[in-house]
Structure 1
Amino acid sequence: MTQPGETTGGAVNRSLVDTSDPAPWFALMREQEPVWRDDQFGMWHVFRHADIEAALSDTATFSSDQRAAMAALPEFQPFTKGNFMVMDPPDHRRLRGLVSTAFGRRAMERLEPQVTTIVDDLLDEVKGADEFELITALAHPMPVYVLADLLGLPRADRPLLFTWAKVLTGVDVTAGSAPQDPAASLREMNEYLLDVIARRRRAPGADLVSRLVLAEVDDDRLADDELVGIVSLLLIAGHLMATMLVANTVLCLDEHPGEAARVRADPEALPGAIEEVLRFRNSADRLVRTTTREAELSGRVIPAGARVLLWTGSANRDPSAFADPGRFDVTRTHNRHLGFGHGVHFCLGAPLGRLEARVAIGRMLARMPSIEVLPSVEFFGSYSLIRKVPLRVRWV
C-alpha cells in the first residue's frame, strides 16, 4: 500500500482534465488507493462502488449543499434557491417533491412523438450528406429544442437557451465565443424566466412551466425565484447530459461493432444499450461532496469539511459490482450503474434523458444502414465529454 500523496507508477497524478481513457487508472486506484488524499488540491478521491454508493446514500455526512459558494454572485441567487441538486434534505426533499408532481415518467412518455419529430427534422437537415458532425447536427440542438417545447417557450427563443446553458455549465460544445458578460446573460435569463412565470400564473397552459406553477404539496407551492432556479437547473441537466449520452452511445457502438449489430438486429435491445453506455462511458464520471463530519471509507478516515470527489466512472467499472466490467455488453442485466447518481439525488431527468437518447439513436439506426465514426474526435475536460464526433454515413 502506498502512502497518501505518493505516486503509484505515476497514476495518482493524473490530471482532472485528462481526456485519455481513465479505465486503467481507475483499476489501479481501486486496488491500491481506493480512498486517496490529493495533497496538491486538498481533495479526497473515492473509487470503489460500495464506498461511493454508501457516500451518496448518506447525505447527512456527504453534503451536496453548495449554495453559500454559488450565492456570491447576485445573478446566481435565484439559481441557488431552486437548484435542489445543491441542497440537502429537508430543503431538497421539499423542492424535489414539488417538481416531481409535474415531471413524472408518464409525462415524458407522452413527449415521445414530439421528440421524434425534433430528431427527424434535425436529421432531415443533413440527409444525403456522406459526412456530418454529430454534436452540431443533432446531439447538441436536440435536447435544447425538446426543453424549449417542454417549457412552452417560443422556438424563436431557442438561441437564448443555448447562450444561457453555456453560461450556467461553463461548457460550450460548439467551441464558439463565450458571452462577453456572463453576469449580464444571467440577468437577462432571470428577467426572461420571471416574465414567463408571471404570464403562466395569469393564464396556465399545458407546458411544464405551467405545471410547476400549479404544483402543490400540502398547500405548499413554488416561489418565483425557486421556479427560476428549477428551470435553470433543467437547462444544465437537460442539455449537457443528453448531448453527451447521445455522443457516447454512438462512440460505444462504433467501438463495439458486434454489439452495434445486435442492436440493429433487435431494436428492443436499444434501452439496454443506453444503460450500458451510462455504465461504461458516462459523461458524469465524478460527483463532488463535502463532509459535514468525520467519515470512514475502505479503512481511511476522511476529516470533516473535506471536499470529496466520488468517481462514479470508476464505480461503474468495479468488478465487485459488475461481472466482466471491462466488456461493453448491451444485454447486461442487473446493471447497478451510477450513471444517473444514487439515492435522493438520483437524476430527476433520467426518464427524459433516456427517452431522448433512445429516440435519437433509434432514428439514426433506422435511417442510416451504416454509421462510421471518423478520426479526429475531439474531447474537452474528460474522456466522456465530447466536443466533436465526425461521422461518415449511408442513408436509406
Structure 2
Amino acid sequence: MENKTRSAFRQVSEISTKEERYNPFAWYSKMRKEEPVRWDEDRQSWDVFRYEDAKLVLENKELFSSNRGANIEEKDQSPLAVSLINLDPPKHTQMRFLVNKAFTPRAMKEWEPRIQKIVELLLDDISETQEADAVSALTNPLPVMVIAEILGVPIEDQKKFKEWSDWIVAGPKDNSEEEIQRLQKNQERSHRELVDYFENIINIKNQQPGDDIISVLLNASINDEKLTKNEIIGFSILLLVAGNETTTNLISNALYCFTEYPEQYRKVKENPEKFLASAIEEVLRFRSPVQAMNRIAKENTWIGSREIQEGENIVAWIGSANRDDDQFENAQEFDVARKPNPHMAFGKGIHFCLGAPLARMEAEIALKEWIKRFPDFERSENFTLEPIESSFVYGLKEFKLRII
C-alpha cells in the first residue's frame, strides 16, 4: 500500500527548504508557465497551478469528488472520512444545512463582543513588553479559545487542541521512510485521541446539553434521521482543526505582510476603516493560509491538454492560482486596496469554507486592536523564518516582533 498510503505524506520535492516552504511563489510561477497541469509520479497525483484550472477542480462537483472514503464501507470509515470536507452531495448538502446554523450573520454578531474580549486579554499580556512572538501570544491561542467555546469544550484543554490540530495538518520534513513513518504514527495517534476526546464530550452533552454546536447537532435531524456519532465527531474535529489553523495563519501572515510591505501597512494604519477589510482579503490572496486542496476524478476527463483518469488524485494549488497574472493585475504585488479580489483562499463551490465569516471577523478584530495598541512594529533582530511543516496549511511557527 506504499503508493496510496505513503504518497499522501510525501512533500513536493521542489519545495524543501524553509525559504521555499514560505515562499514557493517562484516555483508556482515556473509551473504555471511550463507545466500548468502535471503528473507527479512520486506522490501519485496531478497538480494544477492556473486559476481557471484550480477553479474548475474545486467547483465542478460532477467531475471531481471530495469523498476520499468512497470505496470504504460506512461502518469502517473514520470520523474524518465522514466530515463535511470529505462528503459529496446529497449527504454534504444535508449536513451543511444543519451546521450552517452556527455560522449565520446573526450568530457571528453574537460572537463579536466575546472575540473582542479575548483579543484584549491576550494583548494585555504583551502590552508592557518591547518584543513578543505574535504567534504564541495572539494568533495561536485566539482561534483555539473561540472554537473551544463554540464546541462547548473546556478551554483548559486548548494546549491539547493545538497539539492535535498541528499533527493532523503536519507534513514531513523530508521524504525519508523514517520521517514518513514518524509523521504517520503521530497523525494516527492524534486522530485516535481526538476521536476518544469528542466521544467523551458527546456522552456528556447527551446528559447535559448546552447551547454549543455539539448539543445542537445531537438534537438535529434531517427527514427524521439524526446525525451519527461518527458524523458529529468528524465535524467537531474538522471545525477544531480548520478553525484553528486557518485563522491562526491568516492573522500571522497579515502581520508578516505588514512588515514586508511597510508602505501598504501605512495605508491600513492611517485609515483602518477604509483599508483593513480589503487588506485581509489581500493577505488571503497573497499568502493564503491553505495553499492546496485535493479532489478525486469521478470519471475520465481533461484539464487543459492532459487527460485525467477516473480515480486519480488532483491537487489544486490555491496559493499558485491566487498569484496567477492572467486573473489578477500585478498579481505579485501586495495591494491592500485591491478590488475586485476573487481569490480562492477559502475554496470554491459547495465546499467553500463554512467558517470563512468567523475567520474574517477574528482577523479584523485582532488586527484592529493590535494596530490600535501597537501601531509601529517591526521584525525582531531575533526573528528567523520558521514556516509550518505542512503540504497544504501555510503559516509561521513563530513570528518575533519588536514593538517600537
SS of residue paired to 1:386 = coil
Give me the TM-score of the superposition, normalised by structure 1.
Answer: 0.87
Q: How does 1:81-120 map to 2 (within 5 A)?
A: 81=82, 83-120=83-120
Q: Which moved more, 1:359-368 or 1:102-111?
A: 102-111
TM-superposition CA deviations, 1:282-325 (whole Å, max 9, x none): 02111111212222122222222222121111111112211111
Q: Are the counterparts in 1 of residues 40 and 47 from structure 2 also a CA contact under 8 Å?
A: yes
SS of residue paired to 1:388 = coil
- Structure 1 residues 118 and 70: alpha-carbon distance in aligned structure 2, compared to 1, 3 A threshold: farther
Q: Which residue of 2 aligns with 1:201?
A: 206
Q: Which residue of 1 aligns with 2:388?
A: 380
2:345 matched to 1:356?
Answer: no
Q: Which residue of 2 aligns with 1:300?
A: 306
2:243 matched to 1:242?
Answer: no
Q: Which moved more, 1:258-267 or 1:100-109?
A: 100-109
- Alpha-carbon distance in 1 for matches of 2:40, 2:155: 46
Q: How does 1:209-220 map to 2 (within 5 A)?
A: 209-220=214-225
Structure 1 residue 345, shift from structure 2 partner: 0.7
- Alpha-carbon distance in 2 for matches of 1:307, 1:182: 21
Structure 2: gaps of 5 or more residues: 1-11, 173-181
TM-superposition CA deviations, 1:225-270 (whole Å, max 9, x none): 2111111111110111111111100011111111111111112221
CA RMSD of aligned residues (A): 2.8
- Alpha-carbon distance in 1 for matches of 2:189, 2:317: 34
Q: Which residue of 1 aligns with 2:48?
A: 46
SS of residue paired to 2:371 = helix
Q: Which moved more, 1:217-226 or 1:338-347?
A: 217-226
- Alpha-carbon distance in 1 for matches of 2:265, 2:251: 14
Q: Are the counterparts in 2 of residues 98 and 221 from structure 1 also a CA contact under 8 Å?
A: no
Q: Are the counterparts in 2 of residues 213 and 221 from structure 1 also a CA contact under 8 Å?
A: yes
- Structure 1 residues 284 and 181: alpha-carbon distance in aligned structure 2, compared to 1, 3 A threshold: closer
Q: Which moved more, 1:301-310 or 1:110-119?
A: 301-310
Q: Are the counterparts in 2 of residues 102 and 215 from structure 1 also a CA contact under 8 Å?
A: no
Structure 1 residue 181, shift from structure 2 partner: 7.0
Structure 1 residue 13, shift from structure 2 partner: 6.2
SS of residue paired to 1:334 = coil
TM-superposition CA deviations, 1:107-151 (whole Å, max 9, x none): 122111111111111111222111111111111111111111122
Q: How does 1:89-168 map to 2 (within 5 A)?
A: 89-168=89-168
- Alpha-carbon distance in 1 for matches of 2:63, 2:278: 33
- Alpha-carbon distance in 2 for matches of 1:155, 1:215: 25
Q: Which moved more, 1:212-221 or 1:31-40?
A: 212-221
Give me the TM-score of the superposition, normalised by structure 2.
Answer: 0.85
Q: Are the counterparts in 2 of residues 238 and 353 from structure 1 also a CA contact under 8 Å?
A: yes
Q: Which residue of 2 aligns with 1:9?
A: none
- Structure 1 residues 296 and 149: alpha-carbon distance in aligned structure 2, compared to 1, 3 A threshold: same
- Alpha-carbon distance in 2 for matches of 1:186, 1:309: 23
2:377 matched to 1:371?
Answer: yes
Structure 1 residue 152, shift from structure 2 partner: 2.0
SS of residue paired to 1:325 = coil
What letter is aligned with 1:305? G
SS of residue paired to 1:347 = coil
- Alpha-carbon distance in 1 for matches of 2:327, 2:314: 21
Structure 1 residue 47, shift from structure 2 partner: 1.0
Which of 264, 274, 278 in structure 1 is aligned with 2:284? 278
- Alpha-carbon distance in 1 for matches of 2:291, 2:367: 22
- Structure 1 residues 335 and 162: alpha-carbon distance in aligned structure 2, compared to 1, 3 A threshold: same
- Structure 1 residues 315 and 186: alpha-carbon distance in aligned structure 2, compared to 1, 3 A threshold: closer
2:34 matched to 1:24?
Answer: no
Q: Are the counterparts in 2 of residues 80 and 229 from structure 1 also a CA contact under 8 Å?
A: yes
2:231 matched to 1:223?
Answer: no
Which of 321, 326, 330 in structure 2 is aligned with 1:320? 326
More helix by share: 2
Q: Which moved more, 1:222-231 or 1:208-217?
A: 208-217
- Structure 1 residues 171 and 293: alpha-carbon distance in aligned structure 2, compared to 1, 3 A threshold: closer
- Structure 1 residues 15 and 187: alpha-carbon distance in aligned structure 2, compared to 1, 3 A threshold: closer
- Alpha-carbon distance in 2 for matches of 1:16, 1:213: 44
Q: Which residue of 2 aligns with 1:344?
A: 350
Structure 1 residue 41, shift from structure 2 partner: 3.0
SS of residue paired to 1:333 = coil
- Structure 1 residues 163 and 14: alpha-carbon distance in aligned structure 2, compared to 1, 3 A threshold: closer
- Alpha-carbon distance in 1 for matches of 2:233, 2:279: 35
- Structure 1 residues 73 and 359: alpha-carbon distance in aligned structure 2, compared to 1, 3 A threshold: farther
Which of 250, 257, 266 in structure 1 is aligned with 2:271? 266
